């Protein structure tokens, strides 16, 4: 059974393992393996993750199945140029569990948090070559706003007031 819960420090090694699994498959044809490994060690290093998990300006949740982390996401206060300033910073599910609704469940939890904080929508970025990610967002009610794209990254917006 899938359980979605706020991440705690003890989850860090499992988040690192899930991130590595997902990143290596998702970006195999987008980034070099050196870039992927560098990114994983910096953005998913223990210190960086500890900071993200304990941040009061964001919510970091993990999806667990039998004590195994199969996905995670982080949403929070992002760039204040955008309405409400909320941004989905990351959402990853391990490839063996794609297309089982885990991503949708993680999004639902993230969106409930935005609404609790008084937000009415949020943005996110996805690499323009990440067809799986783009498909997921478009299926889940996000709108692509090309004028706001940055360096090959699609800018997407989701209105929660609708």
Ligand X SMILES: CC(C)(COP(=O)(O)OP(=O)(O)OC[C@H]1O[C@@H](n2cnc3c(N)ncnc32)[C@H](O)[C@@H]1OP(=O)(O)O)[C@@H](O)C(=O)NCCC(=O)NCCS
Residues that bind ligand X (CB under 6 A): 22, 26, 90-93, 98-104, 126, 130, 132-133, 135-136, 139
Nearer to ligand X by Cβ, of 74 and 118: the residue is 74
| Residue 130 beta carbon to ligand X: minimum distance, rounded to whole angstroms | 5
| Residue 4 beta carbon to ligand X: minimum distance, rounded to whole angstroms | 12
| Residue 82 beta carbon to ligand X: minimum distance, rounded to whole angstroms | 17
What phi-psi label fits residue 61: left (phi over 0), alpha (psi between -120 and 50 degrees) or beta? Answer: beta
Nearer to ligand X by Cβ, of 95 and 118: the residue is 95
| Residue 54 beta carbon to ligand X: minimum distance, rounded to whole angstroms | 22
Question: Nearest-CB residue to ligand X?
Answer: 103
Give dist(CA 8, CA 119) in Å, integer: 24
Nearer to ligand X by Cβ, of 53 and 102: the residue is 102
Nearer to ligand X by Cβ, of 118 and 152: the residue is 152
For residues 68 and 42, is the Cβ–Cβ distance under 8 A? no
């Amino acid at each position: 059974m899938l359980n979605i819960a706020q991440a705690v420090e003890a989850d860090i090694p499992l988040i690192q393992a899930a991130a590595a699994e997902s990143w290596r498959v998702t970006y195999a044809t987008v980034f070099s393996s050196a870039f992927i490994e560098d990114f994983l060690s910096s953005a998913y290093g223990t210190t960086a993750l500890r900071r993200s998990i304990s941040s009061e300006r964001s919510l970091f949740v993990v999806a667990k199945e039998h004590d195994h982390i199969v996905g995670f996401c982080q949403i929070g206060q992002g760039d204040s140029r955008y309405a409400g300033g909320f941004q989905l910073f990351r959402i990853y599910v391990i490839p063996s569990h794609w297309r089982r609704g885990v991503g949708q469940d993680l999004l639902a939890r993230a969106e409930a948090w935005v609404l609790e904080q008084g937000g009415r929508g949020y943005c996110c970025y996805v690499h323009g070559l990440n067809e799986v990610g783009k498909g997921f967002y478009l299926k889940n009610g996000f709108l692509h706003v090309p004028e706001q794209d940055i360096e090959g990254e699609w800018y997407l917006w989701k209105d929660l007031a609708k």
